[in-house]
Structure 1
Amino acid sequence: MRRRLVPAAPLLPLALLLPLTLLLAACGGNSAAETSTGTDGKGSLTLNVGDQKGGSEAVLRAAGELKNLDYKIKWSTFTSGPPLLEAVNAKAVDIGGVGNTPPVFAAGAHSKIKVVAAWHGTSDGDAVLVPKDSKLSRPQQLKGKSIAVAQGSSAHFQLVASLKAAGLSLSDVKVKYLQPADALAAFVSDKVDAWAVWDPYTSQILQAKQGRVLTSGEGVTNGLSFQVAAPGALADKSKAAAIKDYLDRLRRAQTWVFTHQEEWAKVWAKDTGLPYEVALASVKRTNSTRVPVAVDKPLIASEQQIADTFTQLKLIPRKVDFADFVDTRYNDDLPASTSAPRITGGS
């Protein structure tokens, strides 16, 4: 179902408005909505997989990696990372994909989770956007300005890091904690001076010519995304083997994206309701740059920095030792998290 989300902003073409289902699918957030999307494969073992709209299931299906499964995958789609990790903690989901910040908050809440796989890509799609006619030209000029961001999301840390790089802190700006649907409305109606957000929202605004990038997360954030598993599933020999196979398929599917950008963009657009132009721009800018990397010490240290930052901001109530929330058994011969090559394939 499509809805006109921002009637106060007639300059934004209706065709480029993100559908409500995707607007809710933030990397952070507090919506607990979840729907079951069916089962793939055969056999007596069922792997319960948590997903987000246009996520793992879509890319696996597009790449042909859901064929010849000797176990079943029961898919459940969540609107964001935090409720997905709540389901992992509750043993309702065996494994699921999230961005770089939800595991930090889950760890801070004593959740029973283990990061088992990681992907590293460009952070160009993580951006602080300003309206196209804004007088702001440098991040330092954000001082005293209002900035929309989803609390606890990957964009939240990107904003903190970008401000720090500009010699500023959160206390130097007026932070408006808004989920993407409300932030989009505020941004296009000039109710905020800037918006810290991630792709495909960045691509949406740029494609609609409603804004421009003031600064991106490249060089200031780690560009990581994760698969996170339940400890109980990892302790089950059969499920642990199924998780290995599932991760192998995901890695091959992401490799397929590198050389099938336009084909993947069409699938992604259909699955999410995104306009094709926005989907393709987002795939080229962000989605096709991701490469699998090892869950290693540099990665843990990078996530520890995020955890420490939010602890210092008193948004996480306790000190988090991120190393306690990883499992490295599926690293295989993957490249180190700090030396993985950037891959950008052609169509």
Structure 2
Amino acid sequence: MRRRLVPAALLLPFALLVTACGGNSAAETSTDTDGQGSLTLDVGDQKGGSEAVLRAAGELKNLDYKIKWSTFSSGPPLLEAVNAGAVDIGGVGNTPPVFAAGAGSKITVVAAWHGTSKGDTILVPNDSKLTGTAQLKGRSVAVAQGSSAHYQLVASLKKAGLSLADVKVRYLQPADALAAFTSGRVDAWAVWDPYTSQVLKARQGRVLTTGDGITNGLTFQVAAPSALKDRKKAAAIKDYLERLRRAYAWVYSHEEEWARVWAKDTGLPEDVALAAVRRTYTTRIAVAVDKPLIASEQRIVDTFAELKLIPGKVDFADFTDTRFNGGLPPSTTTPRPSEGS
């Protein structure tokens, strides 16, 4: 039986929310800036990302520098802009920096958040006979190449005694993967929130497994080394990160308010936004860029190097800067519990 197709109009908003995925999308550069002063901080963002949460939390007030926003559809092109020096800092998931480091890009991880990975899932259709990850052998799985879901798929298969070669991988960006999944053209889909929440809320699939205990649940702010060498820009980056940490903390006690803002900014249905906020967003806590974090990312580097998807040896520590850690808790701190939905 063919599963119901999702109307194309519902796919577009989610194509803008690929916080961890691969792809080659140009940026939208805003003509407006926040703040005042002679210094401008060029910030790379994603739809419903840093700008939205900072504005909702009131953290864009009283800036003594300007922020010019550039909106990207995914992490890899944002990091390409950081590498080129077109963006001073921007937010991405846990895997794009690994591939950027593997390519020798000029990027530096300067801040991190640790959350649960319950929103990172492998989904199967409701009528699927699959009940465990090991049963994916020989099955087709959609995933965005170079994404956090890509690593989650590899790690989940390994835990089940399988390798990536044991499944038929279909490298698809989220909008295409969603269409393939709901039309029955793939057996499973490795993905993250808010796609997980969208599928579950629409009753179009169920969770086969999650990334909880499989992936590290980290997200990052990544800066250009040239900006970090500029004393004034480094000071602005420090202030920006402090504001961003306060904004994420604000979300903890304003879930519904943030979900409404996020829904409006991205085109998400409000119930999907709220489910994603509760499952994923409010679990995140700001943590230090420390040795355990670097070791965790190094394991991702080594995994993709073994798969020949990253050329040569890469030391992830060379792409980090700990100067903005302050009194933050260690990266191994337990995330806030997820409410789920």
- TM-score (normalizing by structure 1): 0.94
Q: 1:145 aligns with which of 139, 147, 168?
A: 139
Kept after mapping to 1: 8 A contact 2:245/2:286:
yes
Cα distance, 1:138 vs structure 2: 1.0
Cα distance, 1:16 vs structure 2: 8.9
Kept after mapping to 1: 8 A contact 2:283/2:335:
no
Cα distance, 1:11 vs structure 2: 3.1
Measured against aligned partners, the alpha-carbon deviations of 1:49-83 in whole angstroms (never above 9, x if no partner) come to 00000000000000000000010000000111011
Cα distance, 1:14 vs structure 2: 4.7
Cα distance, 1:18 vs structure 2: 3.8
Kept after mapping to 1: 8 A contact 2:6/2:182:
no
Q: 1:73 aligns with which of 67, 71, 87?
A: 67
Cα distance, 1:344 vs structure 2: 5.7
Q: 1:163 aligns with which of 152, 157, 161?
A: 157
Write the mapping of 1:57-96 to structure 2, written as runs, cut at 5 A: 57-96=51-90
Q: Which runs of 5+ in 1 are unaligned?
A: 1-8
Cα distance, 1:171 vs structure 2: 1.0
2:222 matches 1:193? no
SS at match of 2:238: helix
Cα distance, 1:22 vs structure 2: 3.3
Instruction: Identify if the C-alpha distance between structure 1 residues 21 and 33 changes in structure 2 by more than 3 Å, giving closer, same or farther.
Output: farther
1: distance between equivalents of 2:16 and 2:238?
A: 31
SS at match of 1:128: strand
2:229 matches 1:225? no
1: distance between equivalents of 2:208 and 2:87?
A: 38
Structure 1 partner of 2:174: 180
- TM-score (normalizing by structure 2): 0.96
2:38 matches 1:40? no
Kept after mapping to 2: 8 A contact 1:26/1:180:
no
Kept after mapping to 2: 8 A contact 1:124/1:216:
yes
Measured against aligned partners, the alpha-carbon deviations of 1:147-195 in whole angstroms (never above 9, x if no partner) come to 0000100000000011111111111111111111111111001111000
| Count of aligned residue pairs for this structure pair | 339
Structure 2 partner of 1:5: none
SS at match of 2:24: coil
Measured against aligned partners, the alpha-carbon deviations of 1:193-222 in whole angstroms (never above 9, x if no partner) come to 000000000000000000000000000000
SS at match of 2:208: strand
Cα distance, 1:12 vs structure 2: 5.4
2:18 matches 1:25? yes
2:50 matches 1:56? yes
1: distance between equivalents of 2:212 and 2:151?
A: 13
Q: Which runs of 5+ in 2 are unaligned?
A: none
Structure 2 partner of 1:321: 315
Cα distance, 1:343 vs structure 2: 5.2
What letter corresponds to residue 139 of structure 1 in structure 2?
T
What letter corresponds to residue 27 of structure 1 in structure 2?
A
SS at match of 2:67: strand
Determine what percentage of the aligned residue pairs are the same residue.
74
Kept after mapping to 2: 8 A contact 1:258/1:343:
no
Kept after mapping to 2: 8 A contact 1:16/1:208:
no
RMSD: 1.8
1: distance between equivalents of 2:87 and 2:292?
A: 28
Cα distance, 1:23 vs structure 2: 4.7
SS at match of 1:36: strand
Kept after mapping to 1: 8 A contact 2:116/2:335:
no
2:230 matches 1:236? yes
What letter corresponds to residue 262 of structure 1 in structure 2?
E
Q: 1:302 aligns with which of 296, 299, 304?
A: 296
1: distance between equivalents of 2:144 and 2:337?
A: 29
Kept after mapping to 2: 8 A contact 1:24/1:179:
no
2:94 matches 1:100? yes
Cα distance, 1:126 vs structure 2: 0.3
Structure 1 partner of 2:113: 119
1: distance between equivalents of 2:237 and 2:19?
A: 25
